[in-house]
Amino acid sequence: MTMKKFMSIVMSRRTGFVLFVLTFFCFCVVVFDSRNRIIEYRSQSIISEENRSIKIQNIVDQRRRDIKHEMENYEFPNGKFCRNISNLDDLLMEKGGRPMRSFLIAGWRTGSSFTSAIINSHPANFYLDEPLQDFGHVRIRGPLLVDAAIKNIHKFFNCEFDKLQHFIDFVKPDQWVYNDNQGLWPHCVNQRDLCSDPIFLTAVCRLYPLQQMKFTRLPLESAQLLLEDKHLGARMILLVRDPRGIMQSRGRLEWCQNSTDCSDPQVLCNDMVSDHKVAVELKKKYPHTFKVVRYEDLSLNPQHKAKEMFEFYGLNFHSNVEKFLDTHTKNNLGDSYSLFRDSKKAPFHWRNDLNFSEVEEIQRVCSTAMKLWGYVLAVNETHQKEFNPIVYNYRRF
């Protein structure tokens, strides 16, 4: 072996070694750097997670104080109205209590927003406006759907939003289900993502001594299962309205034309007949937890009927409620969803807005339902514009 050849082998080994060391060094730098970045990224997300939970905690603490304040000097039922409740703790989930729970069973455009708004003008109320909207524009019937709906309703009342991801995702684009929720909406209006956070929804929900919901998709037959549940302890009002008024009001909803459950008066009135049958049974079986209200009666005499509803629920007729009735029953402002209205006229618009052939068409399939619920048939065009469509002494509930 010549010296030259020997040197070149040594050199190439050395080069190889140097290259190896360099590569190793670079590798270490890359690994170290990316580890650093991961650590940095992790700590950032920990900070924002922390910030978020601090923010939620602050809101929850503030709400808890507000609720306590709102319920100061509250007259608890103390055994009246079959409610064995003597202090706030009896109603607080975090103190092992059970909230006073109520819900409204109604259909689309039956006056349910107006009726719910009256109840929701009471302080310290956690209100959800049709939390079954992810079921689509259908009436919920049949064992499978009913079972799913009832399970969801239990989760809502128990504040288990972590088990309601489908609902949370469904309502994400508009979230009107929370619009009238006193505890949620003031925060969601600026930060929509808060109201898609099950941790936030659950924490706020659990603070409330009163819970109220409105369902427009559940026929009474499906909803009655909720009364059987003693643990839930919920009270139910069935809201009834003249099918001619309902159909006239639904005519203004675009989506309604695509849903037979919404646009077909025959479907509506079949439900009203079956609701009547179930209502008669429920009134006997659950005299303290089931009640029927006709929208027309409530609108003609809001003070009196509202008092009756509050007594039924076992709630104070709070000064906020009186204020609400004063400001929301005497004017007529806004669009068709508006709650500022002349309540005495609102249920009867159909008499002028429908023509007689449209009215006849509805009456043709609704006469049984109308008779059961105390609504008078219009006999001709002039009669329709002048008559009083309601019977006062129909079978009362």
Ligand X SMILES: *[C@@H]1O[C@H](CO)[C@@H](O)[C@H](O)[C@H]1NC(C)=O
3-class state of residue 103 by DSSP: strand
Closer by beta carbon to ligand X, 106 or else 262? 262
Cα 334 to Cα 342: distance, rounded to the nearest angstrom = 11
Q: Cβ(218)–Cβ(147) under 8 Å?
A: no
Which residue lies nearer to ligand X by CB, 42 or 323? 42
- Non-local (6+) Cβ contacts of 154 within 8 A are 229, 232
d(CA 74, CA 344): 31
How are beta strands 234-240 and 100-105 bridged, if at all?
Answer: parallel
3-state DSSP assignment of residue 300:
helix
Q: Cβ of residue 138: shortest distance to ligand X, in angstroms?
A: 13
Residue 288 one-letter amino acid: H
**Least separation in angstroms between CB 275 and ligand X:** 27
Residue 220 beta carbon to ligand X: minimum distance, rounded to whole angstroms: 27
- Complex with ligand X: residue 44 or 331, whichever CB lies closer: 44
| Residue 272 contacts residue 328 (beta carbons within 8 Å) | no
Q: Compute the least distance from the CB of residue 387 to ligand X, in Å.
A: 8
Sequence-distant (6+) residues with CB within 8 A of 48 are none
Query: Which one, 254 or 335, has the nearer CB to ligand X?
Result: 254
Least distance in Å: CB of 46 to ligand X?
A: 9
Taking the least distance from each CB to ligand X, the nearer of 45 and 368 is 45
Nearer to ligand X, 70 or 358 (CB): 358
| 3-state SS class at 101 | strand
Tally of CB atoms within 10 A around 168: 18
Smallest gap from residue 288 Cβ to ligand X (A): 13
The 8-class DSSP code of residue 135 comes to: G
Token reading at 304? 């009196």
Binding region for ligand X (CB under 6 A): 44, 47-48, 51, 84, 254-255, 258, 355, 357-358, 379-380, 382-383
- The answer to whether 103 and 214 are in contact (CB under 8 A) is yes
> In whole angstroms, how close is the CB of 51 to ligand X at the nearest point?
4
Closer by beta carbon to ligand X, 80 or else 395: 80
